[in-house]
Amino acid sequence: LSAYQLPQDFVWGIASASYQVEGAVMDEGRGPSIWDLLVHRVPGWVADGTTGDVTDLFYYMYPQDIQRMAAFDIPYFYMSLSWSRIFPFGRGYVNEQGLAHYDDLFQKMVDAGIKPVVALYHWDTPLALMNDYNGWVSEDIVADFLAYAQLVMTRWDKYVPIWITVNEPQVYCGDGQGYAGYPEGYWDQQGITGERAVYYCGHNSLLAHGAVVDWYKNVLQGTGRITFKNSANNYIANTSSAADAAAVARGNDFQLGWFNSPVWTTGDYPTSLRDTLGDLLPNFTAAQSAMLLGSCDFFAIDGYTTDVIGALPEGVDVCQSNSSDPNWPTCVLQSQTLASGWDIGFDAGNANTASWLKAVPTGLRQLLNYLQTTYTGPKGKDIVLTEFGFAEPFEDNFTALPDRRFDQLRVDYFTGYLNNLLAARVEDGVNVTGAIAWGLYDNFEWQNGLGTQFGLQTVNYTTLERYPEASLFTFTDFFKQHGL
């Protein structure tokens, strides 16, 4: 494998997202997003009390960030557009300063030889749309999202070879509706139960994705590739029992089938979701199913880790640490309707690093094989690993780790994951055609705030200086070693 040469069009690069890196939240006509409200007004929403007000100040510092990427010969950069910089009220009035900002950003990227991979939506819903109609819970968002997409794709398609409609709907709809709107509890006050909000959010995300792809292909006749981004952990069964195997299958339906059965296989949600959720799950019309089927040019997967999944005894809604492997003691509840899982050390601060390093990299190979078997088919469309990465435990603790730039655990993470990706491609014949690392540098890690650091560069939040870490060299050297 060490001599294997990757094809020249292999998509490799590094990632960011607007609210996580831009800062400058009140500058040049930007309107607020739901995150501005959540971080300032909901006590305890962010674990360490930080916000994205400044974060990496990418909004102003992008020229140097682009030069840094160019210096490392990084060919692709994943980023998202801030919807509320362009439509401060979510729709209607357009902010020309926001457009001019991204004009210059794209021009500088292209001048530096870097290709943008651009998401239209990475969780920062314009606040006005939340106030008007509850954001993604309402089907009204489909028309507003389409109008926004039409404006930006018409203007920037010439720069953008790869478009992402929505980022990880399973997460922003499923893992607490706060990512798509307000925290749980708010919905109940609106007369929408939490669970119903989750599945309407997912449904409207699919309809919005489908509407944008349909317009992009048939009206704009865009030449780029377009898809939405999934998030999934690799699931392995806790024991060889039939009940645990069923829990794994059910878990995969809930994390992947929810969005991918409608797009890749049947045009509808998986049977297990229909059986479990009943009328919480909306229906597609025949025309909507037809629009969704085949609407992704490739399968985009964000895959960070592996969970051990076991069946829960009926009626028990906390998970039990009955894993047969003592190296995996951390019990993480996936969902009441899903299964329980034992997380193999994804969390920053988890001291369980040894088992994490031992167990997880092979999980990526399994996940890629699962996706090809289940969705894309052996000679079908390709798979791109659009995010993977690692928050090194204790990295922000200068006493424990005085030189943060030598991030040994993250180096091991990328080495292990990239070699397993290669094995999936070369030895298993999985059509995986790209790998994009999270992230460009430390940034605002949502509810974990600035303290949880995934960066391949570390950032001094007093001076905003960026420092390449060892993992940035490991990551970029890997592709050079393999012919790129």
396 binds ligand GCO (CB under 6 A): no
Nearer to ligand GCO, 169 or 361 (CB): 169
**Binding window for ligand GCO (CB under 6 A); candidates: 25-33, 166-174, 286-294, 348-356:** 166-174
Tell me the number of residues near ligand GCO by CB under 6 A.
10
Residue nearest to ligand GCO (CB): 168
The answer to whether 106 touches 63, Cβ cutoff 8 Å, is: no
56 binds ligand GCO (CB under 6 A): no
| Residue recorded with tokens 């290669």 | 422
Measured over the CA atoms of residue 306, residue 311, residue 315 and residue 318, the dihedral's sign is negative
Alpha carbon distances (Å) from 350 to 167, 176, 211, 347, 444: 26, 22, 42, 6, 19
Residue from 22, 36, 387, 469 that binds ligand GCO (CB under 6 A)? 387
The total number of residues written for the chain in this structure: 484
What string marks each residue from 415 to 454 as x (binds ligand GCO by CB under 6 A) or -? -----------------------x------x--------x
Q: In what order do the strands lie in the sheet with 306-310?
A: 234-237, 306-310, 339-343, 331-335
State the Cα–Cα distance between residues 454 and 351, nearest whole angstrom. 17
Residue from 144, 168, 244, 442 that binds ligand GCO (CB under 6 A)? 168
Active site residue 465: no
| DSSP secondary structure string for all residues of 373-415 | IIII-TTSS-EEEEE-----TTTT-TTT-S-TT--HHHHHHHH
Residue from 167, 177, 230, 305 that binds ligand GCO (CB under 6 A)? 167
State the Cα–Cα distance between residues 220 and 231, nearest whole angstrom. 28
Nearer to ligand GCO, 272 or 452 (CB): 452
171 binds ligand GCO (CB under 6 A): yes
Q: Which of residues 196-225 bind ligand GCO (CB under 6 A)?
A: none
For residue 6, what is the DSSP state?
Answer: P
Instruction: Provide the minimum distance between the beta carbon of 284 and ligand GCO in the complex, in angstroms, as a whole number.
Output: 25
Instruction: Provide the minimum distance between the beta carbon of 454 and ligand GCO in the complex, in angstroms, as a whole number.
Output: 5
What string marks each residue from 17 to 36 as x (binds ligand GCO by CB under 6 A) or -? x--x----------------
- Write out the two tokens for 252: 């995969």
Active site residue 22: no
State the Cα–Cα distance between residues 390 and 348, nearest whole angstrom. 8
Catalytic residue among 184, 195, 387, 427: 387
Catalytic residue among 22, 28, 139, 168: 168
Nearer to ligand GCO, 36 or 445 (CB): 445
Radius of gyration from C-alpha coordinates of the chain: 21
Give the interface with ligand GCO as residue ranges (CB under 6 A): 17, 20, 167-168, 171, 302, 387, 438, 445, 454
- The residues carrying an active-site annotation are 168, 387
